[in-house]
Amino acid sequence: MMKIAIDGPAGAGKSTVAKTLSQLMSYIYIDTGAMYRSLTWKALQTGTNLDDEKALYELATNTNIHFQKDNSQQKVFCDSFDVSEEIRSPQVSSYVSKLASYPSIRQLMVQRQQEMACNHSVVMDGRDIGECVLPDADFKFFLTASIAERARRRLAEMKSQGYEQQLEAIRDEIIKRDEDDARREVGALKVLPDSIVIDTSNMTIEQVVEKILAIIRED
């Protein structure tokens, strides 16, 4: 059973690369960011107070988040709702780090992610995969890129989804989210001693995938 962890800041290319790798290798792909985003979406929908860790934990224990394959796409369901698109909204993006900072929520999510990965070969991407979810992963990649490039990528992505946003606003949101993700006490975004760091600033998705495959094959 092969376990591949991919961590890194927003817009580094984690999910695109993880998805491609999982397809090439016929492994399961688990987008852990989509799980935190789905819970944030539900908290906003239900008017749950985002300052109330207990209420959010209660909400999380009563929420089913699962992935479903749909041709080459992977859909995210929160209970019975297909939230694949809604969870990428600027509103969800602006609140998700707050919800993800609560230790009780993280503990529950990590446990669920470990259950999903159990008995499967997986590619999993997020922030704390190498440290908390798959500490024994065969490979721990840390993808990164300059803030200018990550903001540019995210702007293009948001535009293609019909959101009108300014580069400045996206840049500021990413910087704030990275800071919040790196600062929290549990499951913080960080390079680990056994991380393989790849700066993707000047790389295409195909080049990143090729590089990762070469490292895996070399081993």
Report the interface residues with ligand CDP, using CB under 6 A: 8, 10-16, 32-34, 36-37, 96-97, 100, 126-129, 153-154, 157, 177, 181, 187, 200, 203-205, 208
Handedness of CA 201, 212, 100, 165 (dihedral sign): positive
Check whether 13 is labelled as a binding-site residue: yes
The distance of closest approach from Cβ of residue 79 to ligand CDP in the complex, given in angstroms and rounded to an integer, is 19
Nearest CB to ligand CDP, comparing residues 78 and 203: 203
Full DSSP string of 91-157: HHHHHHHHHTT-HHHHHHHHHHHHHHHTTS-EEEEESSIIIII-TT-SEEEEEE--HHHHHHHHHHH
Check whether 8 is labelled as a binding-site residue: yes
The distance of closest approach from Cβ of residue 174 to ligand CDP in the complex, given in angstroms and rounded to an integer, is 7
The distance of closest approach from Cβ of residue 26 to ligand CDP in the complex, given in angstroms and rounded to an integer, is 20
Nearest CB to ligand CDP, comparing residues 12 and 78: 12
Distance between CA atoms of residues 160 and 184, nearest Å: 32
Q: Are 28 and 79 in contact (CB under 8 A)?
A: no
Give the residue ranges of the annotated binding site for ATP: 8-16
